[in-house]
Structure 1
C-alpha cells in the first residue's frame, strides 16, 4: 500500500488536477442540463411510442402524438446539436484557466468549429435508369446537382450538416476547441489588442479588445481547414471522425477496456482520489460519445452501434457499495460497521457512496481492498458479456446518476425487463464477494 501511494498516486493526482483535462471534464459536465433534458424527452417518447407498440396500444401513441412531437423538437435542440454545446463550454473553461473573457473565448471556439465543418455537403443517390434517359441533360443548369453515370450528386451549401454537429463532431470539437481557444487566450495575454481610451465603458471595450486575437485564431482554423480539404479532398471533421474517433470508440468496446476503466476508477477511489474525475476524459470523451450515438440511433429506430457506454457503468457497476451494506446487515456483528451501514443505506440507494467510503471506511482499508477492486471487475465483466451476447439490450438512455440501482438499468435500456434481472445478479455477486471480507473485519474487531 505504501509503495502504491508513493509511486502511482502522485501520477494520478497530477492527471486529476491537470488544468486542460479539468477544463475538458468541466465542459462535458457543462452540457449536462441540456443533454439530460434531451434524454428525458426521448425516455418519455419510449413510454408513449415504444411500449404501447409492444402491446398493440397504438391508440395511446395517437392520443399523445402532440407530446411525442414536442419531445422530438426538444431532442433536436439538445442532443442533436451537442457538439455545438460542448465546444462553447470548452472555450469558456479554457478562458477560465488564463483568466480571459469567457464569453469571447466561447464564441471563438464555437465559430472555429463551424469553420472546420466547411461550407457544403454532398450526397450521392444511385438512380435506376431503365428508360435510358439522358440524366445529365435532365438536370442541366440546376445548381448543386451533377450526374455521373446513374449517380445523382446533390451539393447543398449554407447548411450545418446534422451528422457533424451531433456526437459525431465531438473529437473535432475537442481538437479545434483547444486550438482556437488557446491561441485566442495566449494572444489576449500578450495584449495583442486594440487600445481604447480609458473613458470607454468596459462593456464596450471588452469586445474590442478581443477582435485581433479572435481574428488570428479563426483565420488559423480557416487556413488549416481550407488547405487540408484541398490536399486530401476531405473535410477536416470527416477525416477526424474516420481516422480518430471511430477507431478509438471501437477500441473502447473491447472487454479489456471496459473492465480496465472500471478497475482504475475504483482503484483511485480506494486511495481517496475521486476516480470519476481522474477517468473523466476517457469516461465522457469516449464512452459518453458512445452513449450519445446509441441515444441518436434509438431515437431514429436504427441499429444500436455500441455495446458499452458511460451509463452502462451506472446501470450495472457503480452500486457495488450497496452489496457491501447487504453483507454487513446479513452477517456483521461489528457495531461500527452496522451503524455506518444504517446511516449509509439511504444515500447508497441513490448512488451516493461517500458516507460509507469515508465512514466505514473503505478508503485505505486494507481488509476491503480486494473486494473493492474485484467487484467492479466482476460486475462489468458479467454486464458486458450479457449485453454483447444479446441477453439484455444495450444502454441507450442517459439517466440521471441518482436513479436507484436496478431501476437505473431498466430505464437506461429503454425499459428492458432483463436489465432488472442483470442488475439483481450483479448486486448478488457484489454481496457474495464482500461477505468473506466482512467476516474477516469482524474477526479483526474481536
Structure 2
C-alpha cells in the first residue's frame, strides 16, 4: 500500500500541481462559474415549464401558451450560454494578466461573433442560437483564449492612443483600448475570410468536425468518465481539489453534452446522451459531495462508537445534506488515510457504472439537461435532473445504499481504532 501511494504521489501530484496553476484552465473554470447563475436561472424555468401533470390539467392550447410564456427564460440563458462563457473566460484571463478585464471580455465576444455565420435558412443578418450554445462552445473557448492573448499583445506593444491630462478616466480608457481592440478584431476577420476559401467554409464547421465531435464522443463514453472520476478521487485523497483540476478539462465536453440533452428534452425528442454535466453533479457529487460522503455520515450515526466519529457526524451531517463535505474529508480524515483509500476510490466508480447502465437500459431517464444547483439535497436533485422523474430520485437512494455497503467494513475498522485509542487514554 505504501509503495502504491508513493507511486501515485510521485506521478500524479506534479501533474495536478501544473494543472491547478495553469492560467488557461483557471480562466476556463472561472469563466464557467460566471455563467452559472444565468444557467441555473434558465434551468429553473425549464423545470417550471415542464412541471409534471400540467399537460393533463390544462388544455392543449393553454399548456402551449404557458410554455411559450416561459420559453424566453431558457432561450436567453441556456440556449446562448456560450456567449456568457466566452466573456467570462476572456475577462478572467485578461484580469490574470493585469489588463482591463472588461475590454478583454467584450473583444472576445465581438471576435466570436465575427467568426459566427450570420445566416439562417438563407436569411442574412440572423445568428443561429445553436452557434451560441452547445455547438459553438469549443470555438468560443478557443476564441476567448486567443483573443485575450492577441489583445494583450497589442496592449503590451503600447499600440494605444494617449489622451492628454484632464480627460475623464473612462474616456481615456476607451481610447487607449481602441487600437488594440480594432487590431484584434481585424485578426479574427482575417481568420473568417481565410476559412471562407476552405472546404469547411466557416471556423465553426472546422472546430466542430475536427475537434468538438471527437472530444465529445470520447467524453460521453463510460471509460473516459470512469477515468475522470478516478482522477478526482485520487487528487482529493492527496489534498488537492479534484473537481477543480479534472472539471477544468472535462466541463466543456460535459456542458456541450448537457445542452444537447436540453434541446432534445425541450423539443420532446429522445435524449441523446447519458454522460452530461448533471450525470456527474447529480448522481455523484449530489450525494453528499465528492465521494458521496453522505453515506459515511449516515453510517456514523448508525454504527459509530468513538467520540471522534460521533462528533464528526454531528458536524458533517447538516453540511452533507447540502453536498458540502469538507468536514468529513478533513475530519475523518480521508486525505492521506490508507484505511479509507479503497472505498473512497471504489464507491464512485461502482456508482458511475450502476448509473450509466440504469440509464442505458431505460430503467431510469437520462439527465434532461436541466442544471440543478449542486447544493440541492439528494432525492430532489435526482428528480429535477431527470426531467421531474421519481426514478431519478430512486436511483440516488439506491446508489446511496450501495455506497453505504462499500464503506461499512472500512468505517467499522476506523471507528474501532478510534474507540480503542479513546479507551486507552481514559485508562491513563
Length-normalised TM-score, structure 2: 0.91
- After superposition, residues 75-86 of structure 1 pair within 5 angstroms as 75-86=74-85
Deviations 1:94-116 (A, max 9, x none): 11111111121111100100111
Aligned partners of 1:348, 1:326: CA distance in 2, in Å? 10
Aligned partners of 2:148, 2:100: CA distance in 1, in Å? 11
Structure 2 counterpart SS, 1:303: coil
**Would you say the 8 A contact 2:47–2:388 is kept in 1?**
no
**Aligned mate of 1:346, from 299, 311, 318:** 318
**Aligned mate of 2:53, from 45, 51, 54:** 51
Residue 252 in 1 paired to residue 219 in 2?
A: yes
**Would you say the 8 A contact 1:315–1:406 is kept in 2?**
no
Residue 185 in 1 paired to residue 152 in 2?
A: yes
Quick check: 2-11 or 367-376, which moved more? 2-11
Per the TM alignment, residue 410 of structure 1 is displaced from its structure 2 partner at its CA by: 1.1
Per the TM alignment, residue 237 of structure 1 is displaced from its structure 2 partner at its CA by: 0.8
Q: Which has the larger radius of gyration?
A: 1
Residue 363 in 1 paired to residue 335 in 2?
A: yes
Per the TM alignment, residue 64 of structure 1 is displaced from its structure 2 partner at its CA by: 6.7
Per the TM alignment, residue 66 of structure 1 is displaced from its structure 2 partner at its CA by: 5.7
- After superposition, residues 106-125 of structure 1 pair within 5 angstroms as 106-121=105-120, 123=121
Which position in structure 2 is the counterpart of 1:103? 102
How many residues are matched?
Answer: 409
Quick check: 25-34 or 161-170, which moved more? 161-170
Per the TM alignment, residue 62 of structure 1 is displaced from its structure 2 partner at its CA by: 5.6
Which position in structure 1 is the counterpart of 2:228? 261
Per the TM alignment, residue 253 of structure 1 is displaced from its structure 2 partner at its CA by: 1.6
Deviations 1:406-433 (A, max 9, x none): 2211110011121122111110110010
The unaligned stretches of length 5 or more in structure 2 are 421-428
Per the TM alignment, residue 67 of structure 1 is displaced from its structure 2 partner at its CA by: 4.7
Which position in structure 2 is the counterpart of 1:300? 267
Per the TM alignment, residue 282 of structure 1 is displaced from its structure 2 partner at its CA by: 2.9
Aligned partners of 2:133, 2:223: CA distance in 1, in Å? 28
**Aligned mate of 1:428, from 388, 395, 401:** 401
- After superposition, residues 223-242 of structure 1 pair within 5 angstroms as 223-242=190-209
Length-normalised TM-score, structure 1: 0.88
Which position in structure 2 is the counterpart of 1:410? 383
Which position in structure 1 is the counterpart of 2:38? 34
**Would you say the 8 A contact 2:118–2:128 is kept in 1?**
no
Residue 401 in 1 paired to residue 374 in 2?
A: yes
Aligned partners of 2:245, 2:171: CA distance in 1, in Å? 40
Which position in structure 2 is the counterpart of 1:157? 124
The unaligned stretches of length 5 or more in structure 1 are 124-154
Aligned partners of 2:314, 2:349: CA distance in 1, in Å? 26
Residue 207 in 1 paired to residue 174 in 2?
A: yes
Aligned partners of 2:377, 2:206: CA distance in 1, in Å? 41
Structure 1 counterpart SS, 2:123: strand
Quick check: 420-429 or 229-238, which moved more? 229-238
Residue 327 in 1 paired to residue 329 in 2?
A: no
Per the TM alignment, residue 303 of structure 1 is displaced from its structure 2 partner at its CA by: 2.2
Aligned partners of 1:233, 1:347: CA distance in 2, in Å? 51
Cα 1:254–1:362 shift into 2, 3 Å: same
